[in-house]
Structure 1
Amino acid sequence: MRIRFGDQQDIVGIARVHLATRQATYRGLLPDEVLDAMTPESLTAWWHEYLPQAPEPNKLLVADVDGTPQGFAFLQKAGQRGEVFAIHVRPQAQGQGVGRRLMEQGLAVLRSWGCDRALLWVLADNHGAQGFYRKLGWTPIPEGSRVEDIDGALVAEVSYELPLTQAMPDGRSASLPQSPS
């Protein structure tokens, strides 16, 4: 597996990963009719629309095995704070270190931008993802909550932060990913 910077050419692949993780992880967190209406085409269209207008700077990271995306992370910056806007790992690749490596390299990108802390938002009822973030040293922001509209379903989200001056819990650091080839 390699982690690399992605680009517009990766949108179809990341849309498939995005769909697979939403279908597997968000079942019971979003209404079934919302999840069942999601398609690779609808998420591909969403990413094609979102990426060109995303706040700058931003980076797409792709974890792939033999050219097939197994996960991705999308990062953006606001002031001195960086945001992990999205991180998704194909269900069959979860538990194999893909998410950890994406996060490590994503945090390296945010540090390279001069960010002093990172932020992310997660569904309030997505306890599995919250456990993953906590294991990596992220802490909940007590006043950090909002309601987000995901394809017509209003869902509560909570925010987590991580000071970028600290290393990952295991002390490892990461280098920047490779550029797309």
Structure 2
Amino acid sequence: MRIRPLLPGEALTLLGVFRASVHGLAARDYTPAQLDAWAPRTVDADYEDQWIARIQANRPYVAEVEGVPAGFADLQPTGYIDQFFVAADYAGQGVGSMLMRHLLDTARAQGLTRLHSHVSLTAQPFFRRFGFVVEQVQYPVVRGVALENAVMSLQLN
């Protein structure tokens, strides 16, 4: 297992990781309608273009297992984690922990004092294990469907 930067042309591969994470792991906390709003099973060219632009802007780190992208996460200069996903097939194998440790080390090296993210119900216990606390529960509307999540933050020493 290793963490590396995003490779050119890899954005759509990460779309598959994202979908596998949402539909494979978050199903216990969200309804099928919420899952489909969050991570549509079928997408058009416009959606793909928006996804590619977001991934290129976020510049995520990719967790690879035997050469296969198993998860990804980004860290913005403000300390914001926009995306943090591990494919369901790799859940519970340390991929998420390795990604989070990488983000924490990177944040400290960059002199950041606080990290924050909008965290799904499914991922909140994982973020809590790393010391994140809930600041606020919110209900963003995605494609007309409300999805509960929480703003979580971590003060770094």
With structure 1 as the length reference, what TM-score do the two structures score? Answer: 0.73
Match of 2:110 among 102, 109, 113: 113
Is 1:147–2:139 an aligned residue pair?
yes
Q: Which residue of 2 aligns with 1:171?
A: none
Q: Which amino acid aligns with 1:48?
A: I
- Asked if the contact 1:2/1:63 (under 8 Å) is kept, the reply is yes
Q: Cα–Cα, structure 1 residues 119 and 36, in superposed 2: closer, same or farther, change >3 Å? A: closer
Partner of 2:61: 61
Separation of aligned partners in 2, 1:151 and 1:67: 34
Distance apart, 1:23 and its partner CA: 0.8
Conserved in 2, the CA contact under 8 Å of 1:63 and 1:71?
yes
Q: Please give the alpha-carbon distance, in whole angstroms, between the structure 2 residues aligned to 1:96 and 1:40.
A: 28
Query: Is 1:158 equivalent to 2:150 in the alignment?
Result: yes
One-letter amino acid of the structure 1 residue matched with residue 144 of structure 2: G
Name whichever structure is richer in strand by fraction: 1
**Partners of 2:34 and 2:147 within 8 A in 1:** no
How far the C-alpha of 1:18 sits from its partner, in A, is 0.2
Query: Which segments of 5 or more consecutive residues in structure 2 lack a partner in the other structure?
Result: none
User: 2:53: which partner in 1?
Assistant: 49
Report deviation, 1:122. Answer: 1.4
TM-score (norm 2): 0.83
For the Cα contact (< 8 Å) 1:34–1:152, is it kept in 2?
no
Secondary structure of residue in 1 paired with 2:139: strand
Q: Give the count of matched residue pairs.
A: 153
Percentage of matched positions with identical amino acids: 29
Q: Indicate the residue corresponding to 2:89 in structure 1.
A: 92
Give the root-mean-square deviation of aligned CA atoms: 2.3
User: 1:67 deviation in Å?
Assistant: 2.5
User: How far apart in 2 are the matches of 1:158 and 1:98?
Assistant: 22
Partner amino acid, structure 2, of 1:67: G
